[in-house]
Amino acid sequence: MMQVFAYDELCKMNLIIDAICEGGSSVGELGDPISRVLPGCGNLGGFRAAGRGTEKKFVVLYTSGEDKDWPDSIDSNTGRFVYFGDNKTPGHKLHDTPKRGNSILRNSFNWLHSIPPEREKIPPFFIFRKFPTESSSRSVQFKGLCVPGFPGSTATEDLVAVLKTADNQRFQNYRATFTILDIASINRQWIYDIAGGNYITKNTPRPWKIWREKGVYLPLVSEPTTVIRSVDSQSPQNDLQERILATIFDYFKDSPIRFEAFAARIFQMLDSRAIIDDLTRGTVDGGRDAVGRYLLGLDDDPVYAEFSLEAKCYRPAIGGEKANSVGVKDVSRLISRLRHRQFGVLVTTSVIARQAYSEVREDKHPVIFISGKDIAEILIKQGFNTPDFVRQMLEREFSVSEE
């Protein structure tokens, strides 16, 4: 169970990973939970920095998790946190933003990669995510303490300027990669310490101290567990995902051959290391299964893992209708076609039935499931974030003439 702290308790609480900080009933900063937990950081925007000048005392990175154009993400398996800067609309230069969030990112990553590194100038970064509760729509969840960079990433990978177009105007924004440190709880006293400019004290979290002094990352990682996603969690989570999925299903429902080519493309969008070698017409149901290789190892000395992909354009759970789920028979068909050392990929506009999902995971078959919600999320992350954009892509790459 997640811990929940009432608004009146926030100024006294230790910061506990995944704890809920409830918002207040007052309007403005008085009702904002983050500014009560971390005084001096302000109450608006994704970037909330405490302190004047270039070197900040600490920085809050707030994410709603709902921005389809700039999808922040947390990988709980590895501790990787991807956060987008604050130049999200045309009209400003990359670093000319009201909150100067992109300037904070630029400075922090420059200090990280300078020779020698100047990590002592980099402030602690606290992550909060929108988490509405019954008592307040302003409630948030604490997701951890993070630092710039990630184990194995380089200066050209962990902070990237992304070019986008909106309203026929091109503009840039940062995509920054952080590491969430293995810190379950942050002593309240350390918050007082850093507010006073004292970062290394008896209250300093050990992983943060090690990173600052030695540059060693100790990420917060989750133990692997058997995951059996529910039907609801595989289904569209909002109106945009529903409309995108409806566009795909309507386009391919009478043409399963074209859908299977699209499914192969979706897997490549999910992971650029996937190489599609062939789309083979099936002899049983008239469809086409993709076969390919997954790239492992070094670019000049690659190792490949082969895979077989099955695609099912079934009715998704949209418009209040129940999904036509992929069942045991469909999944068993894919498993029976896997050769030694191969893995399988099943892509569907619908969902995987619980029994089929359970049997695959409990028997440890190497099968990747990509459901309707996943398809929508993959497309949104690739910039196809409206039904019109999706339709244009489908007509351009999967026209009727290809069948």
Q: Domain spans of the chain? A: 4-214, 231-402
Query: pLDDT band at 212, cuts 50/70/90?
Result: very high
Please tell me the predicted confidence (pLDDT) of residue 210.
Answer: 97
Average pLDDT, the chain: 89
CATH class of 231-402: alpha beta
Q: Which helix (H) or strand (E) holds 233?
A: helix 231-234
User: Cβ–Cβ contacts within 10 Å for residue 22, how many?
Assistant: 22
Query: Has this prediction a pTM greater than 0.95?
Result: no
pLDDT in tens, 144-188: 999 999 998 888 899 999 888 777 888 899 999 999 999 999 999
How many Å from the N-terminal Cα to the C-terminal Cα in the chain?
52
* DSSP notation for 250-297: HHHTT-HHHHHHHHHHHHHHH-TTEEEEEEEEPSSSS-EEEEEEEEEE
pLDDT in tens, 265-290: 999 999 999 999 887 654 444 344 78
Query: pLDDT band at 28, cuts 50/70/90?
Result: low
pLDDT in tens, 93-105: 888 887 888 999 9
pLDDT in tens, 127-138: 999 999 988 989
Q: Average pLDDT in the 191-204 region?
A: 95
Q: Average pLDDT in the 182-209 region?
A: 95
The domain defined by 4-214 folds into PUA domain-like (2.30.280)
Does residue 226 surpass a pLDDT of 90? Answer: no
Determine which of 55-69, 102-116, 186-200, 282-296 has the lowest per-residue pLDDT on average: 282-296
**Rounded to whole angstroms, how far apart are CA atoms 326 and 319?**
19
Does residue 215 surpass a pLDDT of 50? Answer: yes
Does residue 225 surpass a pLDDT of 70? Answer: no
